[in-house]
Structure formats: C-alpha cells, structure tokens
Structure 1
C-alpha cells in the first residue's frame, strides 16, 4: 500500500509540475523584419535562388564555347609492331597517323614506344550557332531571375496576410480579456448584492454563467492566436512559431486610399510568363542554327619514339631506347563540317517550340485576366471595407452606451439580467466587429498590392504611420 501511495504521489507532483509550466513569451517582430526574415530563411525562396545561380553558371559555361579545344596527351607503350612501327592507343581526341609499312614477317619481340601530341581545334565560325546558344542561356538567366523575384513577392504577400491575421487575433484576445474583466466585475458586484439580500440567488448564478462564457470566448481567441503564431512562424522559416506582432499600429489609423494605382502589367508573375515566352523563342532560333555548318581551324604537333630504329630497323626492348623521341611532325588545317540530314527532324522541333510559345502566350493572357479581375475586386473590397471601418465605431459606441444603460438600470432594479446579458453580447460583438473591419481595410489594400504586383502600394501606407 505504501508503494501505491508513493506512486500516486509522484504522479500528482509530476502533474503539478506540468501544470505550473509557463509558455514562454512570444518574440515580437515588426512587419518589415518579418518580410526580410522570410526572404532569407524560407526554403522555397532559397531553392529559387539556387536555380538562379545555376542559370548564371550555365550562361558562363556556354559563353566559353567560343574558346578553342586544346588537347595534350602523352603515352608510353610496350607492344609488338608487325603492322605499325610501334603501337599507340587513343587517350582523348583524334590521334594523327603514325602508321608505317607492313612487315613481311611477324616479329613478336615487344619494344617500348612513346607518343606525345598537342592539338588545337577551334570552331572559327559557326554561322550564329554559338551566339544562339548564348542567347538561350541569357534568356534562361533572365527567366530564373524573374521567377526568383516572383517567388519572393508571392511569399511576402503570404507573410503580410498571416501577419495581419495574427494582428486581428491578438486584438481579439485583448477584447476578450476586457470582456472577461467586465463580466468578473459584474459578477462580484452581483454576488455582493445577493449576499446582502438585495438580489435573488439566481442572479449570482446567472452572473457566474456570464463569466464562464467570457472565459470560453477568451480561450477560443487565445487558441486562434497561437495557431496563427505557428502559421506565421512557418512562413518565416521558424519551426518554433513563437512570434507575435510588435504593435497595434494598424488599428491607430486607417490607410489613405489613392485615386490611381499601378496596373497589373508589372506583376512579377506576368514577367515570368513573358520571359518564358522569350526563352522558348530563343530556343527555337538555336535549334535552327544548329543546322548551320561549322568552319574549324586545326593545328597539331606530335613526337614519336620507338624501340625500333628508324635507320637500321633494329629492335631493342630497353625502356630508354623506346621512349626517346625519334621524329616530330606538325599539321595545320582548315575544314568545314555540315550535317544536312537533321533538317527534317529540326523542322518539327522548331514547330514544337513555336507551339509551346503559343501555349504560354495563352496562359499569359489567362493570368492577365485573372489579375485584372483580382485588381477590380480589390477596388470593390477596399471601398466596402473602408465604409465598414468608418461605420464600426458608431456601432461600438452605441453598444457601449446600451451596456452602460443596461447595467445602470439593473443596479436600480429597472432591468433584468437578460437585458444585461444581451448588452454584454452586443458590446463584445461590436468591439470584435470593429477590429475585424479595420483589419479588412488593410487586407483589401494588400489584395490590391498583390494584384498589381507592387508591394509599395501597401508598405508605403504602413511606413507612413
């Protein structure tokens, strides 16, 4: 029995220890810091940045195609030489002819040999083929740059939206805390009147129920806030998610609406589609150019050594007799190479690329329609949200007046608890509606910035405060 009691006591102590754990205070972060942190830390942005770097390195590699090929090789052999005056084997690149006459008799005595060559091949003129390949790489670099900028922009929109959502949840928590204080104060006053016999006992129970309702609303708002903190932390690349908005500046002043906003043509997403079309067209030109001939300049120099004497035709298997150079040669030449048969295949490849460009042109038009519709919708949302935000304080003041009247009438015995409860609910809902209405103005402005692809439309209003 003592062991059983000891085990139960340990569980109780452990439970109390866990119950006393306090959640650490969230780290307050400004909107600008949140945007910068997300741009540096979020994995998808890092991946796009890596793709941009890949395209830049690929461009540098393609630009080096203009350089000549320089091939140096050196080898030593130990072999028979019945058909050739010493054997050689390919290392890299073409090997100049080193053959000799065919011997009348097979001689199986191996000898040492050596061979060293230096060869330069330069595609002096390719009729635009290399230039077209460089243009493709440049277009690919531009496309990846726009893709990276669009990824950063779209993610910044998500971060700001999550930040605004966290703001409204934090504001709601404060509203529910005040609501709980009102309900607690009302309960304490009611309990004192019940104890003194001025009120019936049911009033105390009713007031306690209002406190419980206020606690539930507070717990729900705290849960929403914590969930949104985790969401914001995820977008910032922080798995802990212990972030909080640094201030309530967004509730101190409404943004100033502009008469004119930028159009959607500069949206980063449209730039991605336009650059993709340019890349495809450039690729089709490069495919055409691949059919063009190439003029090649070549220069070679080589030296040859063999255990077979070039004067007496004597044999020696000694290493040093074979590796010493006996002869040397050089070669200069120019040639033209033109592969004509791929013309039928290339023609269809070019047609496929042009159709792909047409496909992206249609997709571009679809995105333009979608962004234009989103921009028009943002105009409507901004106007309606502003009207609601201006009307919300009137509702809140009226609800606050009704609450004060209801509590005063209740204190004087002219109102019932039901009227007070309705006043409680009306005031709490009005305060929450006001915070949401103000937040909706900022989110509508963010929607406008997202549609036109210009974040300054939103940030200028924030920094102006």
Structure 2
C-alpha cells in the first residue's frame, strides 16, 4: 500500500513538472516564428534568387578575360566564275575565286574549316573595371536582400506586438465585463428590493452592453491580427500565452545598447555598393576611349574539286581533295577614335551619379543616427511611463474594490461607482498602449541597429 502511494505521488510529480515544461517548449516566441519565416517565406527566396542571378552575371563578366575562340566548318557546291575589279567586302557577300583557264564541270565542290582566337591582352583596365562593377552589383543585391530581411523582421515583430496587444486588451476587457456584470446583478437585486431606482438597473445594464459590444470589436481585431501573423510566419497554430505576460510587463531597457549606426548596416551598404558600381562603370567608359591590344591567331583548311591542272570535278567527294592548310598569328591594336569624346561624357555622367549616391549615403547615415538616438531616448522614457501606468492600474483596482464595497453598503450612488470603473478601464488602456508603444519603439530601434536579439529574446 505504501509503495502504491509512493508510485502515485511520483507520477503526479513527474506530470506536474513535465506539463509546464512542454507548455513552455510549445510556446512560439518571436525567434521561433522568424526561423520559420527565414526558411519558408517566398519573398526571401525571391531576393536570394536575385542575388544568385547577380553572382552569375559577375561570373559571366569575368569570362570576358578568356580568349574568344570561334570555329566553323562548311561544305559548299556552286559555280567558280571569277570576276576582276575591286570592292568593299560588305556583309552578305560570299567569296568566289576562279579563272578562265579552268575546264571540266560547271559546278565545283568545296570544303572549308577554320578556327580563330581573339584574346584582348591589354585594355587599360577596362576588363578589370567591368569585373569590379559586376562585383558591386552582386554585393548590392546581397545588401538589398539583407535590407529586405530587416524589414521582414520588423514587420513580423509589429504584427506579433499587435496580436499580443489585441489579445491582452481582449482579456482585460473580459475582466471589465465581469466587473460590470457584477454591478448589473447587484443593481438589479437592489432595484427589486426597492433600495435603488429602476433607472440604476437600466444604467448598469447599458454599461454592460456597451462593454459587450466593445468585446465583439476586440475579438475581430484579435482574429485579424492573428491572420496577418499566420500569413507572414507560415504557421497555422501559434502559441503565444507566455509572451502575453511579458507584453504588459516588459523587460527593462538595456542602457548599454549600441548608439551608433554602423557602416555595415544593409541600407548604407546598399548605397555604398551602388556608389562603387557607378565609379567602376565610369572607369570602364574612360578605358573604352583608349585603344585595346589583341593577340590574334587562326588555322584554316580549304579543299576544292579543282586540281592543279585546272580540271574541275563535279563530284561532291572531290571537294575534300586538293586541300590547302594555313595559319596566321599576329598582334592587333583597335582604337575607336570617334568614341573618345562620347565616352568621356558618359564617364563624367556616371561619376556624377556616383557622387549623388555618395551624398545620399551621407544623408541616410545622418538621418538614421538621429532616429536611433531619438528612439533610444523614447524607449527609456516609455519604460518609465509603463512603470507609472502599472502602478496606476494597481491603485485603480484597489480603489474600485473599495468603492464597490461602499456601493453594496449603499454609501455611494451607481454613477459614482461607474465613474470609478471607467477610470479603472482608462488606466488599463493607457498601460496597454504604453506597453504597445514601448515594444514598437524597440522594434524600430532593432531595425536601425540591425540587431533583433533583445526583442526576440524578451518577447
């Protein structure tokens, strides 16, 4: 019997410990929701795809450093009449060579194959600048993705805060309903006993009905906030009970948090890479106005059905006879002199674009620094407000209980008790709004510092 009692006691202890732990683990905090967003949200995948595309473009630009190799092979069948005179070899012409001493068939068979190498070995840094411009675009795409991620973190935080605000307000309004329902029942009983006028019963019922209507509105707001959060987080079931207690009783603000906007912030990094891109493109245009040096090389094979004696065979297979093999190697310099002035204008325009973005970078950095300092001052003061409103709620609650006892004793009228109840409700709403504003400011500060650890850990 003793063993049975001990076994049952042990089972209850294990259950009592395990259930709270399970409930705590199953609760979703902001960090849990964010992990789900980071893994599954389509917007992040779209930004990652854009970053991958920029990286592939960079590799494509880098491939311009490689020698360009072109090859062709052909077999043709046609006439061979020659023609004297000079001409410009415009596009669309094909080459025919022959003379009047040839005899035999009127059509000849020909074969030809060639391979040409064109390697730009020196271009005054144009290829290097093009590669640098492509790398800047890749870095810019990566920074834009990080900026988007920061925006999503803030959006997730704001939607979570709104959900907690509406859920807490709904919970507190339900307590208000309980208080007003108690007043309504007390007033109804006093009215039936003839101790209070019937108007008091109607007034108490009206106050209860108004709060009931407010409850319907808050339930709609809570459901809408939950739907918004589910869309972003991708979770159908979200457990937030543990966060509700933290929402109205936030952790103290950490004074040692960073107060300087770092240059690596994704917004500033995006502008920095944009500036580098314009500068690199400006250098490309400058380099393009200078000559480029190419190494040229080629191999060719030519076969013909016309032999050395001038006899023309009409057979197709004879087009691979009487062949001639040649090679060519050399160095060439190409310089488009006309584009010198045009490229100079383009280079100057891109330089001005780089200068404009650099000024924009300085403006953003200055504005973000001011916003960060202002947000941290507001957060510190907001926390002080929360401490005071929390005290005000407790005092209003104690005062309401005292006045309720006096009302039950017939020492005060109903309108006085309802005024105290209204003051109690105002104190609760001010505390909830102060808590919501506090967390919203923390989310904004986290976006400015690109550090959401404090928010994700404490909410």
Return the offset for 1:168: 1.0
Aligned to 1:332: 329
Aligned to 2:291: 293
Aligned to 1:302: 300
CA–CA distance in 1 between the matches of 2:168 and 2:69?
71
CA deviations on 1:192-227 (whole Å, 9 max, x unpaired) are 444455444333322221220111121122222223
Return the offset for 1:288: 1.1
Aligned to 1:463: 457
Aligned to 1:378: 375
CA–CA distance in 2 between the matches of 1:445 and 1:197?
55
Aligned to 1:417: 414
Return the offset for 1:105: 8.4
* 1:152-301 paired onto structure 2 within 5 Å: 152-236=149-233, 245=240, 247-248=243-244, 249-259=246-256, 261-266=258-263, 267-301=265-299
CA deviations on 1:170-209 (whole Å, 9 max, x unpaired) are 1101101111122223323333444455444333322221
CA deviations on 1:310-336 (whole Å, 9 max, x unpaired) are 222222222212244622222222222
Residues 291, 343 of structure 1: 8 Å contact kept: yes
**1:313 to 1:102, Cα distance in 2 relative to 1, 3 A:** closer
Return the offset for 1:234: 4.5
Residues 159, 228 of structure 2: 8 Å contact kept: yes
Return the offset for 1:115: 1.0
Aligned to 1:361: 358
CA–CA distance in 2 between the matches of 1:434 and 1:43?
37
Aligned to 2:45: 46
Which SS does the other structure have where 1:171 is aligned?
helix
TM-score by length of 2: 0.84
**1:278 to 1:228, Cα distance in 2 relative to 1, 3 A:** same
Per chain length, whose mean CA-contact separation is higher, i.e. which structure has more relative contact order (CA < 8 Å, sep 6+)?
Answer: 2
CA–CA distance in 1 between the matches of 2:259 and 2:105?
87
Which SS does the other structure have where 1:265 is aligned?
coil
CA RMSD of aligned residues (A): 2.9
**Aligned mate of 2:387, from 386, 390, 405:** 390
Residues 303, 325 of structure 1: 8 Å contact kept: no
CA deviations on 1:307-366 (whole Å, 9 max, x unpaired) are 22x222222222212244622222222222222221100111111011111211222222
Of the structure 1 ranges 240-249 and 264-273, higher mean CA displacement relative to structure 2 is found in 240-249
CA–CA distance in 1 between the matches of 2:321 and 2:182?
108
**1:411 to 1:31, Cα distance in 2 relative to 1, 3 A:** same
CA–CA distance in 1 between the matches of 2:276 and 2:416?
69
* 1:69-84 paired onto structure 2 within 5 Å: 69-83=68-82
CA–CA distance in 2 between the matches of 1:347 and 1:196?
99
Return the offset for 1:29: 4.1
CA–CA distance in 1 between the matches of 2:236 and 2:272?
37
Residues 255, 442 of structure 1: 8 Å contact kept: no
Q: What is the number of equivalent residue pairs in this alignment?
A: 425
